[in-house]
Structure formats: C-alpha cells, structure tokens
A and B are shown apart, each in its own frame.
Chain A
Amino acid sequence: MTEVTIAIPTPLRVYTDNQKKVKVEAEDVENALTALVTSYPSLKRHLYEDGKLMDFVNVYLNEEDIRYADSTKLKQGDKISIVPSIAGGTS
C-alpha cells in the first residue's frame, strides 16, 4: 500500500467536505478511487455509472490518462487527478 494524493476538482468538492486534496492508501488507481468513494459515498454516483467511470470524467495518474495506461500501479509521491468536463466561458 502506498499513500497518494487525489486532486478533487472544484465542482466535485461539494461531495468531499470541500477538500481539494484527499490522501488515500492504495495499490493502484482503481483501489485509490474505491477508497475515495468509500470515504465520501455521495461522490460515487458523480464518478461512476454501472460501475464504470463516466465519459465526462477523466482520471489521470500523474500526467497520463488511465484509459490509455498499461499499468496504474502506484508508487510513493504519485498524484491522481480527477478532471471533469467544464463548459464555462461566456455567461
């Protein structure tokens, strides 16, 4: 088990008691996200649908999108980022 930080984007902080960064212990990214939604259960349905990450939520291990990663094993100091789509610009 390795301790890593998960960066929570602004729109989802309402589900993490306004925490911008959450530390979890896990072996890979999947475990880390499971640990996150176990601590903050109301976050779950904003990330997953039918057990799958939703299309408008991307998860990066350091700077790589986990959808394209060969392995998501974690090592000390790794950073996981949740990056949802945002549309703001004009109004």
Chain B
Amino acid sequence: MKDLTHKDYQRYSRHIIMPEVGVEGQKKLKNARVLVIGAGGLGSPIAMYLAAAGIGTIGLVDFDVVDESNLQRQIIHSTEYIGRQKIESASQRLKGINPEIEVITYNDSLRSDNALQIMEGYDVVCDGTDNFQTRYLVNDACVLLGIPNVYGSIFQFEGQVSVFDAKRGPCYRCLYANPPPPGLVPSCAEGGVFGVLPGTIGTLQATEIIKLILGIGEPLIGRLMLYDALDMSFRELKLKKNPDCKVCGENPEVTELIDYDEFCGVSSKDAELVENIDVRELEELRRKGEKHVLIDVRNPTELQIGRIDGSILIPERLIEERIHEYEIAKDDLIILQCKTGIRSARALVKLKRMGFTNVKNLHGGINAWARLVDPKIPLY
C-alpha cells in the first residue's frame, strides 16, 4: 500500500483531520481504483470529485467526441475541446485538478467482449451511461466480478441513485428484471435534461463511491434515492434482493456476459421496415406539388426552434392514438420527420404495423433540412 507523501498531507489536510477519514482513510483513497463509465453528464462531476479527493487510479471509458450541445451540463469538457475525444479532454481536466493521480483511458465502447477485461481489478465501478444495453452489461459484469456498481440515472428534472452490490444487497436486475422495449423510454437527447441535474446526481454517486472506499456511513445499498429538481425533493424507496434474479439470485441463469443488443430488443427486423427519403427528394416532391402528408413527430416545445412549412404535429409517443384525427388513407404517402431521424423511424414502424403502407422517414430529420435546404431554420 502506497504511503502518503508530505505533499499529500497538505493537499488532503481537510480530509485527514476528520477522524472518519484520517491518515488511514486517505491512504485507502490513494490506493483505490475506480472505473467511471461514460465521461458525460454524470461522469463529469464523478470523475472531477474523485480526482480532487485523491482517488489514486481513475479509469475512464468513452468513445465519443465533445459536441457543443454537451457543454450545457458536461462540465469536465471545455469549449476548446469541441470535436476532440472526450477521454482526452476529461483526462487533461483531471490532471489539472490533481496531477498526482493516475488516469487510465479506454477510448472504446463497453461491450460484452471487452467489459470483463476492462473492469477487472477496479474496486468500484460507476455507471454514467445513457442506454439500457450498457446498463445491463455493467450490472452483470459487476455481479460476475463481485464489484459494487454505483448507479445513477437522469431524465429531464428527475434522477435516481443507488448502490448495487450483489454481495450485500440487490442488483440492477433485481430492481428491473427486463429492459423496456426500444423507443418506449425517451433518451435525454430526445427528452432533454436540466443541465445541473447530472451535477447533483453525479455528485451523489461520487459521495457513495468515496464512502464505500473509506467504509464509513450507511451506503445506499438496498435503497433507491429519487430526486426531483423542480420540487427540490428527495425520496427513498426500499429495494429487495430478488431470490429469482437471473444474475445474482439463488440459481442464476446469466453466468457469463450475453448479447445485450438482443436482450434490449434492438431488432434488425424493425430496421428493415424503415424506408428513407432524403431532404433533396422531399424538396423536389414539394416543388412538383406531389401529394403527401408530412408529419413532424417531435415534442411541441421543439417546434419553437423551427419547423418545415405545412407539417402537421403528432409527437412520436402519441402517433398511434392520434393519427386517426387526420383523414389519411392507408396508402397515402406519409413522410415522417423529427430532429435527426431516430424518433421518426420508430413512428414509421408503428404506422406500418397499423397498416399504413406508404410511409417514409426523412433521413437526417429537420437538422438535415436546415443544413441543405432551408438555412433559416437553426440547427440544435
């Protein structure tokens, strides 16, 4: 175990003088290894506070690059890093906060074929990802390796935090045995997120990580903390270990990592239904005055940014209920459009299942339209 240096005593003096931490506790932090999955909204405050607290080794997993729309909440990145690797930007920031720590970067997505290798040897893993595939993958890998998983998740103004440590309590699968079908739960890119929310939730995760390493206080094991930023309220729910849990139960079925894309129902069958039209073709069709119905499936607030003239609005999640409000024959040409083409593709699958035969998806959405056809509409 590495000892504290004179410089360490100076840097961490506000920790060390508290009996709950002390010299021994600070040494534990210095010798600890924590893996942060996702250098985004949650990963930003988590990694920064861990670095400041003197966690000796911080691993960072991310494959993305910094985008301007990240900066509203991902405070580890700065404007000058737009377009560069997130892990490069994040590790520079962490080194700036604390040059004494080691930062290990993994410029990759976490997958079934690399997760165990990457995660092995870490004392705590924290999950700040944005999709169900990775959430179940991280959970299962943590259970298999016996590593606690400090969980946080956010949507708009609400967040959830818990500590899943299968040796001492429930895991994520005990809470939610199966993921929702794709498209039912909107992502932050579609639903939006209050910029300061991941700051609050990530900071709670960092608190739990540091407590786990120090072995102090009451860890958030078997409890789910719900935070509502608009009400400024915290609520706590009790979580039970499920004896029939497929990964941490008495007779586990999952004894190695599985195919999480398939498990989360991201099916290629649905993708086959999607027929695209590009913005130039739509422009041509409109110029010729060919009959079609253009449906904008975004949320009403997004329309304030801009819209394509003549579109009708039905949010994607309500399309099945509200398509009947318009007189559209089953073989009329319907063109669906959202911001980038993802939600409209989901709406297309729903309409085809309802028997509409001539439905097309505007490839690239209104952002492509703004870029190539109508520059008066702002990109977002």
Decide: A65 and B238 in contact? CB cutoff 8 A: yes
A58 surroundings in chain B (CB, below 8 A):
175-176
Which range contains the number of A residues in contact with the other chain? Answer: 20 to 34
Give the contacting residue for A86; candidates B43, B160, B237, B239; CB below 8 A.
B160
Closest to B318 in A: A14
Question: Contact: A56 with B188, CB < 8 Å?
Answer: no
Q: Which residue of A lies closest to B240 (CB)?
A: A68
| Nearest B residue (CB) for A45 | B320
A77 to chain B, nearest CB (A): 15
Q: List the B side residues contacting A68 at CB < 8 Å.
A: 240
By a CB distance below 8 angstroms, the chain B residues around A54 are 178, 180
Extra inter-chain contacts (16) besides given A85-B132, A91-B189, CB under 8 Å: A10-B156, A10-B158, A14-B318, A81-B226, A83-B237, A85-B185, A87-B129, A88-B155, A88-B191, A89-B41, A89-B130, A90-B40, A90-B41, A90-B43, A90-B128, A91-B64
For residue B186, CB closer than 8 A to chain A, the reply is yes
Q: Is B127 an interface residue (CB 8 A)?
A: yes
Which B residue sits closest to A7, measured CB to CB? B235
Quick check: A14 and B315 within 8 Å, CB to CB?
Answer: yes
Q: Give bound CA distance, A14 to B175, whole Å.
A: 24
Q: Contact between B185 and A87 (Cβ–Cβ < 8 Å)? A: yes
Closest Cβ of chain A to B223, distance in Å, is 9
CA distance A83 to B224 in the complex (A): 10
* Distance of A87 Cα from B40 Cα, bound (Å): 13
Residues from chain B with Cβ under 8 Å of A64 in the complex = 237-238
The reply to whether A11 and B238 contact each other, CB–CB distance below 8 Å, is no
Between A and B, 14 residue pairs with Cβ closer than 8 Å are A9-B158, A11-B155, A54-B178, A55-B176, A65-B238, A81-B226, A83-B160, A87-B129, A87-B135, A87-B153, A88-B153, A88-B193, A90-B129, A91-B187
Distance A9 CA – B157 CA, assembled complex (angstroms): 10
Whether the Cβ atoms of B317 and A86 lie closer than 8 Å is no
Most central of B157, B179, B185 by chain A CB within 10 Å:
B185
For B185, what are the chain A residues with a Cβ–Cβ distance below 8 Å? 11, 56, 84-87
Binding site for B on A (CB under 8 A): 9-11, 14, 42, 46, 54-56, 58, 60, 63-65, 68, 81, 83-91
User: Is the C-beta of B321 less than 8 angstroms from some C-beta in chain A?
Assistant: yes
Taking CB atoms and an 8 Å cut-off, the chain B residues in 231-256 that contact chain A are 235-240
Question: Nearest Cβ distance between residue A85 and chain B, in whole angstroms?
Answer: 4
Is B364 close to A, CB under 8 A?
no
Whether the Cβ atoms of A88 and B154 lie closer than 8 Å is: yes
**Within B164-211, which residues are at the interface with A (CB < 8 Å)?**
175-180, 184-189, 191, 193, 198
List CB contacts (< 8 Å) of B32-46 with chain A. 38-43
Known interface pairs A60-B237, A65-B238, A90-B38; A85-B152 also in contact (CB < 8 Å): no
For B72, list chain A residues within 8 Å (CB).
none
* Docked-complex contact B64 and A90, CB < 8 angstroms: yes
* Known contacts A10-B155, A85-B132, A86-B155, A91 near B179 by CB under 8 Å: no
Check A84–B157 contact: CB distance below 8 A.
no
How many whole Å from A22's CB to the nearest CB in chain B? 16
Residues of chain B with a CB closer than 8 A to A88's CB: 41, 130, 153-155, 187-188, 191, 193
Q: Which residues of B contact A90 (CB under 8 A)?
A: 38-43, 62, 64, 128-130, 188
B187: chain A residues at CB < 8 Å are 87-88, 91
Q: Are A89 and B239 in contact, with the CB atoms below 8 A?
A: no
> Which residue from A56, A85, A86 sits with its C-beta under 8 Å from B154?
A86
